[in-house]
Amino acid sequence: MGNISSKGLKVVLFGVSIYGIHFVRRLIKVRGILAGFGNLPGGFAIYGPYSLVTRLLPQIPYLTRKPGWQMRHKYAPSYALPVHQKYGSDIISNCFLFSPTPVTLWVADATVAKQITTNRPDFPKPLKMYKAVSIYGPNLVSTEFDEWKRHRRIVAPSFSEKNNRLVYDETTRIVGELFDSWDAAATADGIVKVDNAVAITSRLALMVISAAGFGYRFGWDEMDRPPVGHDMTFQAALTTVLNNFVLRLILSDRILGLWKGGRKIITAFKETRVYMREMIEERRQSAASSEQADIFTNLINGTSLDENEKGADQLSDEELMGNVFIFLFAGHETTAHSLGFTLALLAIHQDIQERAFQELRNIVPEGETPTYAHVVKWAYGLAVTYESLRMFPPATTFPKYAAHDMVLTTSSTDGKSSINIPVPQGTDIMFNIPALHNNPKYWDEPETFRPERFLGDYNRDAFIPFAAGPRACIGRRFSEVEAVTFLAHLILRYRFEPTPTRDGETFEEKKYRVLRWHQGSITLAPQKVPLTFIRR
């Protein structure tokens, strides 16, 4: 026993020694990188948000940093976290010691954000960070330079005014079916209680992108059981894929197959591929008219079945699959979660909900259904959507890198001095979107839900929920039309409020309860939004 204990102790000491050497080497490397930035101050943690250690441990200062830290701390000071006011600069450094990119620059400066997003040759996308979204094939998001230009040239015509009208038509149809089901389930007083409104917005968003994007229609009740030949529904498969990107990338099928949840992930990725393949083949065989306004028609027409004969304005079959997936993802998860936050904010702020109703009633006569012309004229509805996106951006960051040595000039957080930051070639740069969206230089009382700020002049470079510059989200208008159309129909028919959990619940308690969030694999998501809808 004594010999075994001695050998075990030696093994432990050897392991600790190796770890210590590795730790010191990484620390020396980080210090060298920081010296290249002029020792720009910032935060430090040994393990970053997607480390296995971080997943196993709670957040511990200087040791672990949980996903979603940007939203938790935004722009204001917090212990041991790389927030801007603490370090006195709108650009700060951030270090995760054991990370593939141990040091990054984090930007909450609107002028610098514009400089970076508009100068693509100087600040390209680090494609290594977009491996997850190219899992089904190269696409508009995961490519850069000439390849990106080719994808955009083929895809861009799909996002037109004609498609926007189709988005309105499909959203109106789908919301009408929802209201029919609510009428059947409502109490005698016209009250409908929804346990989690995000379940509604998630299903709505998938139905809209499937119909307006790909001509694939289904009803609210058709998604509960898998169709013949499938083990999962379309929604369940896609949602599982989106929620488990990281696990899928870091774990093999053999490891995932060791537990029930892992096997579900394997099935979901296979099922999503099958669903997309079926959508593609069905459209190819249906002799679809070139006059159709959905996204899919243009993608199919720009696809070559033979990779060797692919022209300059054609996508390969794999690229088609990749773009189908990225539009399903962007049109589903981001819109679903954004609408969930919007409903939560309007439910809490009854005065703003009432103003939204009155503004819309001034546009839509009593007894009429809002038309496309009404929806695009409803400026306050778009302002509500923007304010929700400002406070709860779906993506809390997006990355760039420096193509060559340069200098970025930012300002101190008090605005009194300029700070010149040397940026060596290859430096990874991250946009801290929650910090930018809460920077008091651009937003008065940033913690207050105030849609009116978007009715007048505001710093558009400080508002980037759809990214910015040439690489901004190509489906932005698609998402806006869908969101405002849904809100218009809903607000004209119902008023809504948080479903109470007990008597005497205060405003702050309601606010905390329905605005809780979590960081998913890709986007920010509401935790749970229980709402009660009362027929007007």
Q: CB-side exposure of 130: number of CA atoms within 13 Å?
A: 19
Phi-psi category of 485—alpha, beta or left, where left has phi over 0 and alpha has psi -120 to 50? alpha
Is 493 in contact with 535 (CB distance < 8 Å)? yes
Helix (H) or strand (E) run with residue 278 in it: helix 260-285
> Which of 226, 208, 220 lies closest to 333 in space, CA to CA?
208
CA 147 to chain centre: 24
Is 155 in contact with 474 (CB distance < 8 Å)? yes
DSSP 8-state class, residue 129? G
Secondary structure in 3-state letters for 145-161: HHHHHHHHHHHHHHCCH
For residue 95, say whether it is annotated as part of any ligand binding site: no
Cα-based angle 172, 176, 180 (whole degrees, multiple of 5): 175
Distance CA 239, CA 227 (A): 17
> Which of 58, 82, 56, 57 lies closest to 69 in space, CA to CA?
82
Is 163 in contact with 211 (CB distance < 8 Å)? no
Is 469 in contact with 322 (CB distance < 8 Å)? no
What are φ and ψ of residue 439, in 5° steps?
A: -70, 115
> Which of 524, 461, 462, 470 lies closest to 124 in space, CA to CA?
470
Is 412 in contact with 89 (CB distance < 8 Å)? yes
Distance CA 169, CA 15 (A): 63
DSSP 8-state class, residue 262? H
Taking CA atoms, 142 is separated from 249, 335, 407, in Å, by 15, 20, 27
Q: How many residues can be counted in the chain?
A: 536
Distance CA 233, CA 218 (A): 11
| Sequence letter at residue 340 | G
> Which of 401, 472, 433, 330 lies closest to 125 in space, CA to CA?
401
In the block, residue with structure tokens 């015509």: 157
DSSP 8-state class, residue 130? G
Structure tokens at 328: 């399903």
Which residues does the annotation place in the binding site for heme?
473
Q: Which residues are annotated as a binding site?
A: 473
